[in-house]
Structure 1
Amino acid sequence: MSVFKSVSQSTKGQKTQQQHQLVDENNIPIIDIVSKMNQWERYIGTMFADDSRRHSWSLEQEDEGPPILKDEVVKALSKAKVGKSAGPDGIHIEILKLIQDEH
């Protein structure tokens, strides 16, 4: 039996987990945390500087249901999976988790 066939059969049905790296403008991986934070800050700055991406949101308070507690938000953020697309507000979960870590 060939090595390829043996490995193929032994790993059949197993999914590999993708690893994503944060890269700079020149596609060079960013390793240290300070550089990562600076890159995210630049990215967010460009996201909100672009007027074509702005949406008009109506933030009227609804009186339906109890108020949202901070503990509920923290719990939801801890369970949220990274690497998913942004929600309707355009904010990725990675950004929300970084903000949570600072507070």
Structure 2
Amino acid sequence: MQLGARWRAGDAPHRGVPDALHGTIAEQEAQHPSAEAWTLTWLEGRPVCELDDVAFVTLDVVGRVRTGPLREGDGAASALHAPHDRAAGGAADGAADPDDDDDDWLK
């Protein structure tokens, strides 16, 4: 079991945040200077860091850093399926996720 954590934006990331995410966390803080705090949660064994309700930083299943905006109602559950991929230069590839509708029955 892995516990989550919170820390203030501008402070060093929580000790539970993998080093691979630190640079992207700093980039997101620079892009969202009015954001106040990060929340670290764990989803399917992977870290998900959310900056208030504006952005997330995570690792995908193969260990690539992924980041993107959070929309109202989004959260850790959707972060792992977002199309924003830092490994591809930070731009979204625009392709639809073929597994995107797998959980439609939950809605």
Same fold (TM over 0.5): no
Between the two structures, name the one with larger relative contact order (CA 8 Å, sep ≥ 6): 2
**When the two structures are superposed, what TM-score results if normalisation uses the length of structure 1?**
0.21
For the pair shown, the structure with the greater C-alpha radius of gyration is 1
More helix by share: 1
